[in-house]
Amino acid sequence: MNLFQAKEEKKVEYLELIYDLIFVYIAGRNNSLLHNIENGFVSAQVFCAYILSGLAIIQIWAFSTFYTNMHGKNGVRDHIFMFVNMYLLYYIGEGTRVHLEGYQAQYYLAWALILINISVQYIIEYRRYKEDPDARKTIRGLLITLLAEAAIILIAVPLFPFAGVQITGAAILFGIAAPCFFANTGKGDRVDFTHLSERVMLYVVFTFGEMIIAISSYFEGGFTLSSFYFAGMCFLIVVGLFLCYELLYNRIIDREMKTTGMNYMLLHIFLIFAMNNITTSLEFMRDEEVSLIPKTVLLVGSFLLLFGSMFALLFFAKREMKRCRRFIIPAAGASVVFILLMFVLREKMYANIIVSAIYVFSVFFLLFRFSRQCGNQKQT
């Protein structure tokens, strides 16, 4: 009997939500790295640390979520292994700082131990699938990925002063690419995509929570016309982004499709990373210490990465919607206009922020129109 096929539809458990909260803390720690401004710029060292730390954390979450989706039973063992990971993640959070010297050992050891912890869970599960070679192949591929990445990370501890950044980057890239080669067997019955998409959605919601907290600075100080305007525009940007993802999740994504889910998770690594960048970019918009070009580049690049990831998620759209992709052309046109206006108006924050709000809502209305047209085609 194929044990994967025998599984009932999973529900997101309370334990999973508690586990996700630790990542909210670490995301806040990581976003704080970009507040180290020197002469109006974020240094290359700081920005590199921010990128690597952000991707590493989201990747850890993705590995944990993927295991829980395929094998989690919300039992005693799941609680123990997940709480161990939470404990280790605190060390990663404490080690997330501009100057990692003195903290690199705890950071990398905790990272490697988390991957080993997930690997042990897969080893335990491997014994249950003696009559299912496809399942064993998937587990072996994930074990190769996790243990090999853990080994690369451990190498970074003694070599950190010489090649810590390069080794860290290599570990993250390996963790992103390896599952596609070793574990993606092309069978969609191994993953409960309804559960997986819901877990990802909840992580996105937590990331929006961090964004909502960050924009509270726009409401500080006296109540003036200027503060009212900027706070209103910033709030509209966040609302527009939320509506875009809500529409994508509720009306466009086929949450019952058969898929391995790996590409879906991969796209969300970049989508969530872009959301973290937008959070910091919105804080920078009112920070006069940050030079105009860097904060404009960060904001524009973050929006493009976010919407690019969302558009790529259309590969997981409902069947009737896969025939309706003509909206990508006007969306691309709106993006070009947005880029040009943002750089032309970079010295005028009043115009800059409303251009951003209009761009976000233009993408939302394009997505909304897209979903309505495809829905009408299905009815006819």
Query: What is the distance between the alpha carbons of residues 23 and 59, in angstroms, rounded to a whole number?
Result: 11
Q: Which of 111 and 74 is assigned the larger pLDDT?
A: 111
Backbone region of residue 39 per phi and psi (left: phi > 0; alpha: psi in -120 to 50; beta: other values): left
- Strand 37-38 and strand 41-42: pairing? antiparallel
**pTM of the shown model:** 0.85
Mean pLDDT of all residues in 102-113: 89
- Tell me the two tokens of residue 231: 């706070």
Summarised one tens digit per residue, pLDDT across range 290-328 is: 788 888 899 999 999 999 999 889 888 887 666 655 677
Query: What is the distance between the alpha carbons of residues 362 and 369, in angstroms, rounded to a whole number?
Result: 11
Summarised one tens digit per residue, pLDDT across range 18-27 is: 999 899 889 8
Taking Cα atoms as reference points, which of 348, 279, 334 lies closest to residue 304? 334
The domain limits of the chain are 14-190, 193-379
> Percentage of the chain with pLDDT > 90?
38
- Residue 98 CB: number of other CB atoms within 10 A? 14
Does residue 169 have a pLDDT over 50? yes
Q: What is the pLDDT of residue 113?
A: 96
Query: What is the distance between the alpha carbons of residues 161 and 177, in angstroms, rounded to a whole number?
Result: 26
Does residue 330 have a pLDDT over 80? yes
The answer to whether the CB of 126 falls within 8 A of the CB of 139 is: yes
Q: What is the pLDDT of residue 117?
A: 96
The answer to whether the CB of 42 falls within 8 A of the CB of 34 is: yes
The answer to whether the CB of 210 falls within 8 A of the CB of 27 is: yes
The answer to whether the CB of 187 falls within 8 A of the CB of 134 is: yes
Residues 6+ apart with CB under 8 A from 66: 142, 191, 196, 261, 262, 265
Summarised one tens digit per residue, pLDDT across range 120-144 is: 999 998 888 877 788 888 888 899 9
The answer to whether the CB of 138 falls within 8 A of the CB of 173 is: no
Q: What is the pLDDT of residue 2?
A: 42
Q: What is the pLDDT of residue 357?
A: 95
Coil, helix or strand for 331?
helix
Q: What is the pLDDT of residue 1?
A: 35
The pair phi, psi for residue 286, each rounded to 5°, is: -100, 0
Q: What is the pLDDT of residue 6?
A: 44
Sign of dihedral through CA atoms 315, 317, 319, 322?
A: negative
